[in-house]
Amino acid sequence: MGKSRNLKNRRSSVDPQTAHNRLHDKLDELEHILGPLGQRFSSAGFELALVGGSVRDALLGRPMPDLDFTTDAHPDDILRLIADWVDTHWDIGREFGTIGAVKSGVQIEITTYRAEAYEEDSRKPVVAFGTDLDADLVRRDFTIGAMAIRLPSKTFVDPHQGFDDLIAGRIRTPGAAADSFSDDPLRMMRAARFTSQLGLDPVAEVEEAMTAMADRIEIISAERVQVELVKLITGIDPVAGIDLLVRTGIADHVLPEVSGLQLETDEHHRHKDVYQHSLTVLRQAVELEGRYAEKQREAGMADDDPQRLRVPDFTVRFAALMHDVGKPATRRFQPGGAVTFYHHDAVGAKLTAKRMKALRFDKDTTKAVGRLVELHLRFYGYGDAGWTDSAVRRYVTDAGRLLSRLHILTRADVTTRNKRKADRLAFAYDDLEERIEALAKQEELDSIRPDLDGRQIMAILDIEPSPLVGKAYKHLLELRMEHGPLGPERAEAELRSWWETHGQ
């Protein structure tokens, strides 16, 4: 099967003069840090430069949560120069030449010029300190990260035309791409992340090297891969980043379930292109995420409400990407050309959890994504058969804290080109959401409990704590789900009736 390239030819629209103006404004804004820090190193006979992502993000007008500097000073010298100036500092990265600190609420990292490479089959980089800024820049991942501002003079340094690449929307390496990825294979993941985050495209040499060296990603620790994957998924165009990983073969090693969605077709059996469908669902989830978050804001939803969405939301986006990964394992060909994927939701949930565990995701995130994958088909049939209030209550209860995200995933999963069918499904889900809202107002649906608690059950039945109390509680919960609030008198009558049959 040919690999998709239909997401290419995007270009970052950055105006050169605007980029320069942004940089100058940011340097002026940070003068209270850059000036004194640069002067301290210069007076001591050392070089210092603002470097890499800090310069790139300043040119793009992106947030700069921390500042990265590079220097010919070694860690002990760095500590000596900043210890009495910063608010706090730490040396957890001393082994790699990095000293961290905070000054006036701004986090900074200062790293000794270095050359870093991975030995064959090693997960740990070999670090050697350098003495020259240009030599340090040529070893960096991409030209857009190989720009620097020398301090305290504020001289712009760009030996590899990173500025031109940024304006043109290119991802290019300072030296040979194969050498760069051999030095640190994680850079291949970072290329895909920048494709998503910044709207840039790799040049042919970069993509060819990624394809040829895809298996080198396996020497990188799962934790580092996970960090890059999260940044990719939460970028402005995660579809482009994922598609790059798939067509270069890197996904075969880090997300093989996604690569596996490229099912071979059979001339006698037709079904939707599962891979392209999943990319479309992801793209639509990104769009819907913003709309739902805006609706919640307009409705005054509290920040600590568990349903409140944070944009970007990794959980719903990753669930959108993974929701159909159970299809390859469950595909069955039927007489007459039909294709089925029975139970792919349950199988997909297990595969998703397994992959996230391998990538060292935390248990809560893994459980949330897996649950969304498991529930993504629950809505279908609502428009045709209709649901009782009891079924609506169960839908909400089963989704729990993930209800808002399930709304997004379910709507995003509609990718049919049949406008009539799409409109019918959208109308049905509108109706379901309206019913959920109406029931929530009536019954405080988010915290459904029986009309009687455990203590009341024991008092009415005059029994001690035992498994029977839990069974009675579950029975009353079932009645509550089926009929709504019963009130204390009816609940007690129902409890006593149940006790007559089950009390022994």
320-344 pLDDT per residue, tens: 999 999 999 999 888 877 888 889 9
Q: Give the pLDDT band (50/70/90) at residue 9.
A: very low
Domains along the chain?
Answer: 1-175 (3.30.460.10), 176-254 (1.10.110.30), 264-341+355-447 (no CATH), 454-502 (no CATH)
Give the CA dihedral 89, 90, 95, 98, nearest 10 degrees: -40
Return d(Cα 199, Cα 268) in angstroms, integer. 39
Least confident of 263-267, 294-298, 392-396, 482-486: 263-267
> In the predicted model, is pLDDT for residue 223 greater than 80?
yes
pLDDT at 201 over 70: yes
Which residues, including other chains, have CB under 8 Å from residue 338's CB and lie 6 or more apart? 269
Q: Which of 148, 138, 133 is nearest to 55 (CA)?
A: 148
Kindly state the average pLDDT of the residues 142-170: 97
pLDDT per position as a tens digit, 423-441: 988 999 999 999 998 888 7
Q: pLDDT category, 249, cuts 50, 70, 90?
A: very high
Q: What does the pLDDT read at residue 93? A: 86
pLDDT score recorded for residue 165: 96
Please give the pLDDT value at position 297. Answer: 92
Describe the crossing of helices 488-502 and 454-461 by its angle, rounded to 10 degrees.
60
Cis peptide before 256 (omega within 30 of 0): no
Question: What's the predicted TM-score (pTM) here?
Answer: 0.82
Spatial separation of the C-alpha atoms in residues 430 and 262, rounded to whole Å: 32
**pLDDT value of position 125:** 59
Place 3 in a pLDDT band, splitting at 50, 70 and 90: very low
How many alpha carbons fall within 13 Å on the CB side of residue 17?
Answer: 0
Q: Is 7 a residue whose pLDDT tops 50?
A: no
Number of Cβ within 10 Å of residue 52's Cβ equals 23
Query: What is the band of 502 on the pLDDT scale with cuts at 50, 70, 90?
Result: confident
Instruction: Count CA within 13 A, CB hemisphere, residue 154.
Output: 13
Higher pLDDT, 351 or 502: 351
> What mean pLDDT is predicted for residues 464-486?
88
CB-based contacts of 399, cutoff 8 Å, min separation 6: 375, 406
pLDDT at 115: 63
Radius of gyration of the chain, Cα coordinates, nearest whole angstrom: 28
Q: Tell me, what's the pLDDT at 501? A: 87
Residues 6+ apart with CB under 8 A from 44: 73, 77, 81
- Which stretch of DSSP H or E encloses residue 226? helix 222-233
> Is the distance from CB of 257 to CB of 325 less than 8 angstroms?
yes
Whether residue 182 has pLDDT greater than 70: yes
Can you give the pLDDT at residue 57?
96
- The closest of 205, 198, 177, 269 to 14, measured between CA atoms, is 198
Interval 77-89 mean pLDDT:
96
CA nearest 199: which of 313, 90, 60?
60
Return the percentage of the chain with pLDDT > 90, whole number: 73
pLDDT of res. 443: 64
Half-sphere exposure of 184 (CA within 13 A, CB side): 18
Does the structure show a pLDDT above 90 at 8? no
The backbone torsions φ and ψ at residue 213, rounded to the nearest 5 degrees and listed phi first, read: -115, 20
CA distances from 76 to 95, 178, 384 (A): 11, 34, 71
Helix (H, G, I), strand (E, B) or coil at 106: strand
Residue closest to 238 by CA, chosen among 427, 484, 7, 74: 7
Element (H, E) at 280: helix 274-298
pLDDT in tens, 273-284: 899 999 999 999
Is residue 250 pLDDT above 90, yes or no? yes
Find all residues with CB under 8 Å of 450, minimum gap 6, and list them. 473, 476, 477, 479, 480, 491
Neighbour tally for 33: CB within 10 Å:
19
Q: Do strands 66-71 and 48-51 pair parallel, antiparallel, or not at all (unpaired)?
A: antiparallel
Query: What tokens appear for 73 in the block?
Result: 């000073």
What pLDDT shows up at residue 278?
96
Q: Report pLDDT digits (tens) over 380-439.
A: 877 666 788 889 989 999 999 999 999 999 999 999 889 998 998 899 999 999 999 888
Question: Residue 269: its pLDDT value, please?
Answer: 46
pLDDT in the model for residue 381:
72
Interacting residues of 250 by C-beta distance below 8 A, sequence separation 6+: 188, 189, 192, 210, 214, 217
Tally of helices (H runs) and strands (E runs) in the chain:
25, 13
What number of other Cβ atoms are within 10 A of residue 271's Cβ? Answer: 17
263-277, 293-307, 350-364, 454-468: segment of lowest average pLDDT: 263-277
Helix (H, G, I), strand (E, B) or coil at 61: coil
% pLDDT > 70, the chain: 91
Residue 209: Cβ within 10 Å count: 24
pLDDT averaged over every residue in the chain:
90
Query: Per-residue pLDDT for 238 more than 90?
Result: yes
Given a contact cutoff of 8 angstroms between Cβ atoms, the answer to whether 258 and 321 are in contact is yes
Task: Give me the mean pLDDT over the 15-26 stretch.
Answer: 95
**Does residue 356 surpass a pLDDT of 90?**
yes
